[in-house]
Amino acid sequence: MPVMRALTKATKQALLTPGCGCWTAAIAVRTIGFSPRQVTSDASFHSVSFSEADHPKVLITGGLGQLGVGLAKMLRKRFGNNNVILSDIRKPPNHIFHSGPFIYSDILDYKNLREIVVNNRITWLVHYSALLSAVGEANVQLAQEVNITGLHNILDIASQYGLRLFVPSTIGAFGPTSPRDPTPDLCAQRPRTIYGVSKVHAELMGEYYHHRYGLDFRCLRYPGIISADSQPGGGTTDYAVAIFHDVSKNGTFECNLKPGTRLPMMYIDDCLRATLEVMEAPTEQLRMRTYNINAMSFSPEELAAEVKKQIPDFQITYNIDHVRQAIADSWPMNFDDGNARNDWGWKHVYDLPKLVTTMLIFIGSDSRLAHAN
């Protein structure tokens, strides 16, 4: 019986909501078995370079999450509208459907994925389909199907057709035994969520396919990603997005993490630019296949204090969600991203004050801000 039939109506709705913490994309899941496809060890794989084609042809899975939509907009400006295809299993809003190519794609349907890659001459694949941390803990079987079985399909197809593959990882790939301040690229991980376990699995499988089959695998561990484009959708770091929506509505916010819970964060523009930069980086510059990236690190009380500088009557209260708090307490407090900065020139633009100002304006609290001033 399909897994989706066994889910409650509320759970289905949660899974069909675009995320805004680290990333998310709803996936229609069927209980199918995974049988690894044969990949010959002596095959010669390579990604199409700019010397072989004017531009890459990009497929983005899980494209209706806020990261997919934002990345598609950036890549279309750079490579041309028709060279970037968004895909998902949900019906896109009209403005997204008419903004550029969109195609239905279920990452658990191996044949469908292969047809898309072949028929559209895909050379880059950006794999954003995943269930986030809190949602994954409530639906472990579903998270296994989406985050692990789906990844296997992506890896096999990328290897067969010589694609350049990007799979994002996360601060959730670390665990309570990892160094937390700062957390280096290489250390003990041992996450305690299915989301984190699946991301460690993705990192290691990607590196294995790179060394075993020559797959051009690239991965960034995203911190919490903050964006004004969509509503929070199940991530532990989503409080840092929800706070701005609540400020816009009523000037108050109830936080589900403790005041001093420090986590690494990044504004979406920096995140998308880092993704493009690592995809364009020459292979010889990449000493690693998985890199930390970071921009800032703050706690709910520090974020609230920065908001109050611009909206003095803002009030924050705390109602701790113990599941999310336990997850946050096992995650890094600060990322060491020195390797990304040294190897391929990563550099963030948004710090905390600039982040707060930008979010207040984009979400619509600029009128409240003007009134306060």
The residues carrying an active-site annotation are 195
Q: 3-state secondary structure string, the chain?
A: CCHHHHCCHHHHHHHCCCCCCCCCCCCCCCCCCCCCCCCCCCCCCCCCCCCCCCCCCEEEECCCCHHHHHHHHHHHHHHCHHHEEEEECCCCCHHHHCCCCEEECCCCCHHHHHHHHHHCCCCEEEECCCCCHHHHHHCHHHHHHHHHHHHHHHHHHHHHCCCEEECCEEHHHCCCCCCCCCECCCCCCCCCCHHHHHHHHHHHHHHHHHHHHCCEEEEEEECEEECCCCCCCCCHHHHHHHHHHHHHHHCEEEECCCCCCCEEEEEHHHHHHHHHHHHHCCHHHCCCCEEECCCEEECHHHHHHHHHHHCCCCEEEECCCHHHHHHHHCCCCCECCHHHHHHHCCCCCCCHHHHHHHHHHHHCCHHHHHHHC
